[in-house]
């Protein structure tokens, strides 16, 4: 079943497709430009998930592709553990999809478009039992990959795993398999490399329970606290040591201020610059802007 959406309903549909993806995330957008909400709230939620394969297809501006996808945003996507970036010179279509839902739309992955333009879209969900052939989402997905397979693959990064003796595996880090970004961004001729050379295996589910913070709440909190704290990010123990305090003291203060509750970062905490740091084996810990020692 497909539904017509516009306005905030369309914007939230795209945010949620990205935020809730578990195995696969496909982004087809000629123009890409990300603001803090996209990076800090929507996409950063997926940065610790090597089992999620992200495919980004962008296009236009054959002589100056950086006008479609600027260098800073390109480098941001290159930080993800399992990603393919493909350049499609004649691309004009926009499609966003994960393993269960997709939206065909007029909306570019461009912060200005999300906040200022009138845009339309059609949402379609995949069902386990479909009657009468493919869903709209499946047709759009298959068509997108037919185009991607014939286009210029410019960056590929894949996770490296160590198998356990019995079941499962440990994430050991990621390896760059292809990088033509300099040639692309400086308008040089690209070597024709196909996505098929790097097509990933099927990945396992990755359980995520946190709900996405709305753009309105994110920007409201960001306006209130984003400029208050700055400096390098350090662990809670290191933050405490700057004032002769223990980690337990730091946790009490952060909870009383509403930045971290039950060892989980709140929207207020994320807007203040608190985030998670990740080790090579997937372990995580909370890090704080060093200037937050003024609270201790």
pLDDT per residue as tens digits for the range 233-257: 888 988 998 998 888 889 989 988 8
Average pLDDT over residues 210-223: 74
Per-residue confidence (pLDDT) for residue 221, from 0 to 100:
67
Q: Judge whether residue 121 has pLDDT over 90.
A: yes
- State the average pLDDT for the chain: 84
Domain ranges of the chain: 2-198, 215-295
Per-residue confidence (pLDDT) for residue 207, from 0 to 100:
41
> What are the phi and psi torsion angles at 265 (to 5°)?
-75, 130
The CATH number of 2-198, from 3.90.1300.10, 3.30.465.10, 3.30.870.10, 3.30.70.20, is: 3.30.870.10
Per-residue confidence (pLDDT) for residue 205, from 0 to 100:
36
- Kindly report the number of other CB atoms within 10 A of residue 32's CB atom: 22
Average pLDDT over residues 79-94: 94
Going by C-alpha positions, the residue among 183, 110, 175, 173 that lies closest to residue 153 is: 183
Give CA separation, 65 vs 89, 121, 159, 230, 238, in Å.
9, 26, 27, 33, 43
pTM of this prediction?
A: 0.70
Which range among 55-64, 82-91, 202-211 shows the weakest confidence by mean pLDDT? 202-211
Contacts of 266 (CB under 8 A, 6+ apart): 258, 259, 260
Label each residue of the chain as H, E or C: CEEEEEHHHHHHHHHHHHHCCCCEEEEECCCEECCHHHHHHHHHHHCCCCCCEEEEEEECCCCCHHHCECHHHHHHHHCCCCEEEEEECCCCCEEEEECCEEEEECCCEEHHHHHHCCCEEEEEECCCCCCCCCCHHHHHHHHHHHHHHCCEEEEEEEEEEEECCCCCEEEEEEEEEEECHHHHHCCCCCCCCCHHHHCCCCCCCCCCCCCCCCHHHHHHHHHHHCCCCCCCEEEHHHHHHCCCCCHHHHHHHHHHCCCEECCEECHHHHHCCCEEEECCCCCEEEEEEHHHHHHC
Per-residue confidence (pLDDT) for residue 204, from 0 to 100:
37
128 band by pLDDT with thresholds 50, 70 and 90: very low
- Kindly report the number of other CB atoms within 10 A of residue 33's CB atom: 18
Per-residue confidence (pLDDT) for residue 14, from 0 to 100:
96
Residue with tokens 């926009």: 94
Q: What's the rounded Cα separation, in Å, for the pair 268 and 11?
A: 22
Per-residue confidence (pLDDT) for residue 203, from 0 to 100:
39
Q: What's the rounded Cα separation, in Å, for the pair 251 and 258?
A: 10
Average pLDDT over residues 175-190: 86
Structure tokens at 288: 């704080």
Q: What's the rounded Cα separation, in Å, for the pair 104 and 227?
A: 37
Q: Judge whether residue 13 has pLDDT over 50.
A: yes
158 band by pLDDT with thresholds 50, 70 and 90: very high
Residue with tokens 């004649």: 90
Question: 76-86 b/e with 16+ CB inside 10 Å = b?
Answer: bbeebbbbbbb
Pairing between β-strand 94-98 and β-strand 101-105 as defined by DSSP bridges: antiparallel
Per-residue confidence (pLDDT) for residue 32, from 0 to 100:
94
Share of the chain above pLDDT 90, in %: 42
- Comparing 117 with 65, the larger pLDDT belongs to 117
């Amino acid at each position: 079943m497909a539904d017509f959406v516009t306005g905030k309903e369309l914007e939230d549909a795209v945010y949620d497709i990205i935020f809730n993806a578990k195995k696969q995330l496909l982004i087809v957008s000629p123009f890409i430009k990300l603001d803090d909400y996209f990076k800090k709230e929507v996409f950063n939620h997926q940065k610790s998930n090597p089992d999620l394969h992200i495919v980004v297809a962008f296009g236009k501006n054959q002589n100056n592709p950086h006008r479609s996808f600027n260098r800073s945003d390109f480098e941001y996507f290159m930080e993800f553990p399992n990603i393919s970036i493909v350049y499609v010179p004649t691309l004009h279509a926009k499609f966003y999809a994960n393993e269960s839902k997709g939206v065909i739309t007029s909306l570019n992955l461009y912060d200005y478009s999300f906040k200022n333009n009138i845009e339309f879209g059609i949402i379609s969900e995949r069902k386990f039992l479909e009657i009468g052939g493919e869903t709209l989402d499946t047709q759009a997905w298959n068509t997108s990959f037919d185009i991607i397979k014939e286009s210029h693959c410019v960056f590929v990064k894949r996770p490296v795993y160590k198998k356990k003796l019995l079941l499962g595996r440990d994430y050991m880090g990621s390896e760059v398999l292809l990088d033509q970004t300099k040639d692309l961004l400086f308008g040089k001729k690209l070597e024709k490399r196909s996505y098929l050379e790097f097509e990933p295996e099927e990945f396992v589910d990755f359980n995520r329970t946190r709900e996405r913070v709305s753009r309105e709440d994110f920007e409201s909190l960001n306006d209130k606290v984003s400029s208050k704290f700055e400096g390098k990010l350090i662990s809670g123990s290191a933050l405490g040591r700057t004032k002769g305090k223990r980690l337990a003291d730091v946790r009490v203060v952060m909870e009383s201020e509403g930045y971290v509750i039950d060892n989980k970062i709140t929207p207020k905490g994320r807007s203040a610059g608190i985030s998670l740091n990740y080790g090579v084996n997937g372990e995580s810990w909370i890090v704080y802007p060093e200037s937050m020692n003024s609270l201790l």
